[in-house]
Amino acid sequence: MGRRLLGVAAACVVAVGLLFVSPLLLAEGSLPKPSYSSFVDWQKNRITIDASVEVSSLATMVPDARSKAEQLIRADQTSMIENTLFPIVADSFHTVGDLASTSARTFTALQNLIKPGNEQYAKLSTDLSKVTVRYQIPIFPNLGSIFVNQIKANPPNPLLGFVPTTKFSGIVIYAKGELPVHGESRNSELEPSLFPRIWDQNMDLLASADTVDPKVLRGEGMAAFSDNTDEKPFTSRIGLVPFHTVAVGIFGKHPTDVIISNQAAARILASPDNIRLLTEGRILIITDLPRPNVTSGG
């Protein structure tokens, strides 16, 4: 008799427990999947990721549902990376996903970016319908440094012959609006990337990730991006007397590479001091940048 009462009591406890868990959770594989939105702010050097889960299918008690939703988000690193980091353009022919798909080490490094130190907040929406966890990840050094493998800078060869020039403190390339895409019969806007390259009109390479000192490349990248002609925020990078030039075209499957005139390239390559600007990543590209598609808050 005592055992029967214990069995009945246990069944009652289970039944009461089920009142607080959605039937969706009772089916195998029915946990809700987080949804993701992200924004790469090239000007501010950061990636913002919002990961959200609808709480209605998790539990009827809000505190418990919120906790479960946050656990689901933090445990779903693979989907978060695939949805938010993989699409980021690395260079003119590769995305982050392209590079990560061939290297387990790279994927592990990307997973390490989704960590508590990069979590900004976790909050419940005002209508109590969903939980959102926000992450912010610096593009450099956090993401970009994962793909830097060289051990030294490989600057371009200096120009032979005399070209009048002067010593500059940085290089500013204006690349706003649509520009001709080299080798194609179309125009396009420049696409910001982790490792843009700079070519002259003969398609001789002036600058790439390989030309930059690896320490600089890991810490700051080879170039900064801005959609504003105000250069003051970038003075520490390009100095007070930068060389200004205009892009005459762009290049790449992803049109990330800038083409400048032969005359502008010559003024850079004619001076060892100006070539050093390339190896030190003292480059600012002014172009049209994407607008945020994630909500603000915190």
List CB contacts of 33: < 8 A, sequence separation 6 or more: 53, 76, 79
Query: For residue 268, what are its two tokens?
Result: 């850079």
pLDDT at 170 over 60: yes
Mean pLDDT of the chain: 87
Q: Using CB atoms within 10 Å of the CB of residue 134, give its burial: 0 to 12 exposed, 13 to 18 middle, 19+ buried.
A: buried
List CB contacts of 27: < 8 A, sequence separation 6 or more: none
pLDDT at 268 over 80: yes
Strands 187-189 and 243-251: unpaired
CA separation for the pair 30, 90 (Å, rounded): 35
pLDDT at 23 over 80: no
**For position 79, what pLDDT does the model report?**
92
The 10s digit of each residue's pLDDT in 57-97 is: 665 555 677 888 888 888 888 999 999 999 999 999 999 99
Percent of the chain with pLDDT over 70: 86
pLDDT at 99 over 70: yes
List CB contacts of 10: < 8 A, sequence separation 6 or more: none
Query: For residue 199, what are its two tokens?
Result: 């070519």
The 10s digit of each residue's pLDDT in 238-267 is: 999 999 999 999 999 999 999 999 999 999
CA separation for the pair 263, 282 (Å, rounded): 19
CA separation for the pair 166, 161 (Å, rounded): 15
The 10s digit of each residue's pLDDT in 188-211 is: 999 999 999 999 999 999 999 999
